[in-house]
Amino acid sequence: MKARNSTQRQSRKIAHPELILNLGSCLAVIAIVAIVAFLLIRERTSAEHAASRSAANIVQLIDTDVLRNVELYDQSLQGIIAISQRPDLLTIPPELRQQVLFNPAITAPFRGDILWLDKYGDIVADSTSVTARSANFADRKIFQALRENPDLGLVISPPFKNPLTNQEWSITFSRRISAPEGSFLGVASGALRLDYFNDLFKSLDIGKDSSVNLMNTSGHLLARQPALPGDSMIGHDFSESENFKRILEAKQGSFTSLSTRTRQERLYTFSRVGDLPLIVIVAQPTAEVYASWKRTVVMIGVATGLLCIGILWLTVLLGRELRLRHRAEQDLATLAATDSLTGLANRRCLDQTLELEWARAQRGTRPLSVLMVDVDHFKAFNERHGHQGGDEALRNVAQVIEQCIRRPGDLAARYGGEEFVVVLPETDSRGALMIAETIRSSIEAQPPFGSDTQPITVSVGVSSQWADADKMLEALLCAADAALYQAKHNGRNQVRYGD
């Protein structure tokens, strides 16, 4: 029993390295997952920043082109205003006047036309022909605003369908023409076809399902590429859109939000065109922005998962090998401490236990008892039944002795031949005598062996001492041996106590 208790303590000790191994593997897996998650999150942020930078470059390119066109139109309008003040303008031939008033680079067909309107809104000069077309613009809001306010400067109109160019979507750039004393003389106005911006946007590679948009600060869409099938949305008012309000407030930057029209998440990158009331917006679907990142996540996620599974699997295998190794060591330790015939503790285990329990009893000044059990007339028994019968009888006796001691700390051991020793820690003489008698009577109660008419009996010598520094273990053993001798001398099959 003592040998089994020792083995159980070794098993508990064995559990600690395996627990440390499992804990270390789990921490390693958690660390790997945390590091990979951190890197993937950082990679996602990098993908967003890269897309934002790319879109910002496109926005800057468009800003530069739009600003250059507006400046050209403004310079042309200011040239018309300056020339219109010359009193000799109307005296030169119409063809020459046409060339003086209108710059061919601005009045190209792909851009639009430029008009000089008098104070009544009638066309004085037309960039499209020497003979001005007949039309009146006095009822237009921009004409009226310039007439009433001399400080407006350059005015950009909302998008409209130009009646002079087959109802094409256009915007106008207009300036007031004033006399030296400040009175209103008319308006110089240039129309720009919005298809010009669409053609410009088509040349840009912005990615699949992305769009480039030009809007004014009033929220009207001026140009969009790619155009939506069946619905160009030019002129649509987005002033109440939360995304447009955010863009108008920030003036420049990027953010992620749901599209007002499609309700899909998009990355918006935008910028104000100089000091003009124009805004360029690049809208990219986040599904496209993060497409490459998502493929990376899948690849790295699968690789990391396989790595973590491999680590855990190897941990399981290593833990299994540790258990097998410790079990083998445990079995070897058990064999080294066990008598092969009876299964009780052997002499080596007995000597170690006696020294240990004696030292423990001395520290606590506690009693220690020893029983010496000897099978009666065993030599004659061997002669009757042979060695095999004798071995079987010894196994039966050992089994009964082991059944009679209940406490985990008690030890039953084979001392040699047909003699056994029972060690009873923290047991006084009274308790030792009770256990000794229980062992004797239980063995006697066993049925006779083979053809014998009498059962096997044992003689028991008992010794108990309160351990202290003045006493020796050998004295305890000698007292038990003397008591056993006395029991055998007095007729056997009895218990005797030795002081």
Pick the CATH number of 347-497 from 3.10.20.340, 3.30.70.270, 3.10.450.50, 3.40.50.1100: 3.30.70.270
Domain 85-193: CATH superfamily is: PAS domain (3.30.450.20)
Q: What is the C-alpha separation between 356 and 493, in angstroms, rounded?
A: 31
pLDDT, one tens digit per residue, over 90-111 is 778 877 777 777 766 555 555 6
Sequence ranges of the domains in the chain: 85-193, 197-288, 347-497
pLDDT of residue 199: 77
Where is pLDDT greater, at 207 or 77? Answer: 77
Determine the residue type at 7: T
**Residue partners of 350: CB distance under 8 A and separation at least 6:** 411, 413, 415, 421, 423
367-375 and 419-425 strand pairing: antiparallel
CB of 412 within 8 A of CB of 345?
Answer: yes
pLDDT tens digits, one per residue of 269-297: 999 888 888 889 898 888 888 888 899 99
Look at residues 152, 171, 150 and name the one whose alpha carbon lies nearest to residue 160.
171
Instruction: Provide the phi-psi class of 252: left if phi over 0, else alpha when psi is between -120 and 50, else beta.
Output: beta
Beta strands in 183-320 (DSSP E): 184-193, 211-216, 221-225, 252-258, 265-272, 278-285
Q: Do domains 85-193 and 197-288 have the same CATH topology?
A: yes
Looking at the whole model, is its pTM more than 0.75? no
Strand order of the sheet with strand 495-497?
Answer: 411-416, 419-425, 367-375, 458-466, 495-497
pLDDT confidence tier of residue 3, bands split at 50, 70 and 90: very low
**Integer Cα distance of 111 and 103 in angstroms:** 12
In this prediction, residue 11 carries a pLDDT of 47
Over residues 43-69, the mean pLDDT reads 86
Residue 354 banded pLDDT, cuts 50, 70, 90: very high
Summarize pLDDT for 382-422 with one digit per residue, the tens. Answer: 888 998 999 999 999 999 999 999 888 899 999 988 999 99
Amino acid occupying residue 114 = I
Categorize the per-residue pLDDT at 308 as very low, low, confident or very high, splitting at 50, 70 and 90: very high
Mean pLDDT over all residues of the chain?
85
The lowest-confidence range among 13-17, 304-308, 410-414, 456-460 is 13-17
CA distances, 204 to each of 51, 57, 214, 330 (Å): 15, 11, 14, 77
Res 21: pLDDT: 83
Q: Are 382 and 390 in contact (CB under 8 A)?
A: yes
Strand partners, 317: none
* CA distance linking residue 269 with residue 59, whole number of Å: 8
Local confidence band at 15 (pLDDT 50, 70, 90 cut-offs): low
- pLDDT value, residue 292: 87
pLDDT in tens, 210-251: 888 888 888 888 888 887 665 567 888 888 888 999 988 887
Domain 197-288, CATH class in plain words: alpha beta
pLDDT at residue 9 greater than cutoff 70: no
